[in-house]
Amino acid sequence: MFTTPDGVALYTQEDIDALNTRINEQFKAGTDYATRSITNSLQDKAINYFRNEVREGNMVQDDALGIYNGLAEALGWATVDSLTILFTVVVSYNGMTIAEIEDIEAEDADSAEDEVRNNLEVEDVEVTFQVSYNGTSHNETVNTTYEFDDEFEYQATEQN
């Protein structure tokens, strides 16, 4: 680029070619991003459609999976091994993680948490404590039955 004494910018063919190259690169990047976004959205909608069909009893899992994967191959999408959504549920007590349960099949995070909440059993709780008085301490371990009821906290995250 050259600038004349009166402030007019003059561009060489090389400048114009470089600018066109940059514009074309950005256009391609934008187009690729839009295509990926639309493809991912369509793929997610198709998976959810077949999940709903199975959930509502309109299709069996194997048929839905086969049809989805056939569509995926024809459309250039990734195929899947399962239409099931898997979650990992972390169970906490007083802010401390006491269990991390993987591969919970559920429709959503709330359902995964409910599944674990309804089937979690806690047994053989051992409590260890130390009691001291006037410099004399005593350690004690107690096996007890304790009802935790609703004291656990549950947090589900979808597995990738």
* Residue 148 banded pLDDT, cuts 50, 70, 90: low
pLDDT, position 113: 93
- Contact status, residue 91 vs residue 101, Cβ threshold 8 Å: yes
Q: What is the pLDDT of residues 79-127, one digit of tens each?
A: 988 888 889 999 998 888 989 999 998 878 898 999 999 998 877 777 7
Is this model's pTM higher than 0.75 or not? no
**How many CB atoms are located within 10 Å of the residue 89 CB?**
23
DSSP string over the chain: -EE-TTS-EE--HHHHHHHHHHHHHHHHHHHHHHHHHHHHHHHHHHHHHHHHHHHTTSS-HHHHHHHHHHHHHHHTPPP-S-S--EEEEEEEETTEEEEEEEEEE-SSHHHHHHHHHHH-----EEEEEEEEETTEEEEEEEEE----TT-EEEEEEE--
Structure tokens at 123: 């047994």
Per-residue confidence band for 149, with pLDDT thresholds at 50, 70 and 90: low
